[in-house]
Chains A and B, each alone.
Chain A
Amino acid sequence: MADRTTLTFLLMDAPFENARTTTAFRLLQAAVSRGHDVNVFAYEGAVALPFIRQRGHANPVHGRDAAQEDHPLPRNWVAELLRLAGEQGTKLDWVNCGLCVDERGVDESVEGTRRGSPAEFWKMAASSHNALVIATK
């Protein structure tokens, strides 16, 4: 089998704060769907993206209860992309920066994600075909 392309992405934004999060996940979806192996290094606020304690809520302004609102939760996006990669037999390796997790107290993460350090990001990037940093502002 030919070598699969591996792409690494570094994300920094916390959930619910910036359009970069949605764009980043659109890129991850595109990369996974195309059958690439994908590494994600979640740095700083992005370590909260797979935090399992995110909860949806109702929307009183729109008159929707919690079920109707069906609030997007990035932790579900992470879980779904992991599932998709698993189903395809490709790799999605999601690593949370450990120190960033500690200071934010978000150490309950979607199953299938793991903890690492910037050195891990370097290892991922160095062994990938390409690596894109989507930094926060």
Chain B
Amino acid sequence: MTEYLLIESRDPFESNDLERCCRLAVQLKRAGHDVALFLVQNGVMAVRAGVRTSGLDLALEADVRVLADDFSLRERGIPLASVIAGVRPAPIEVVVERLAAGCKAIWH
């Protein structure tokens, strides 16, 4: 089993990158790996309650751990109460922790 950290910085509106990233996360999860998805920068725009579609539901349904950078959330005026269920705000330090722990990290 491998630990993966997928870091997604792009939003689900300009491109389908987030959906593709979520599909990869699900694929890895179903293959038995530990997968976390860290949303940062415009990637956090996917977690505001009321977003129509982002692909994030695929990852959440597959039990991928979805984290959203707390600074990016605040920067975009997304209060904690508006973050969709299943997504956990997290500090950027989490990325460094997981890197230091040796996970395979992919920045997108």
B41 touching A19, Cβ below 8 Å: yes
The reply to whether the CB of A30 lies closer than 8 angstroms to some CB of chain B is yes
Question: Count of A residues near B, CB < 8 Å?
Answer: 17
Stretch at the interface among B19-27, B55-63, B88-96: B88-96
Q: Which secondary structure dominates chain A's binding surface?
A: mixed
Q: Which of A1-53 contact B (CB under 8 A)?
A: 5, 7, 19-20, 23, 26-27, 30-31, 34, 36
A130 touching B107, Cβ below 8 Å: no
B41 touching A27, Cβ below 8 Å: no
Which chain A residues lie closer than 8 Å to B49 at the CB level?
A: none
For the complex, give the distance between the alpha carbons of A134 and B9 in Å. Answer: 10
The reply to whether the CB of B99 lies closer than 8 angstroms to some CB of chain A is yes
A interface vs B, CB < 8 Å?
5, 7, 19-20, 23, 26-27, 30-31, 34, 36, 129-130, 132-135
- Among candidates B92, B93, B102, residue contacting A129 with C-beta atoms closer than 8 Å: B102
B interface vs A, CB < 8 Å?
9, 40-42, 69, 71, 91-93, 95-96, 99-100, 102-103, 105, 107
Known contacts A26-B71, A27-B92, A135-B107; decide if A19 and B100 are in contact (CB<8 Å).
no
For the complex, give the distance between the alpha carbons of A31 and B98 in Å. Answer: 11
- Among candidates B41, B95, B102, residue contacting A30 with C-beta atoms closer than 8 Å: B95
- Shortest Cβ distance from B14 into chain A, in angstroms? 11
Q: Which of chain B's residues has its CB closest to A9's CB?
A: B99
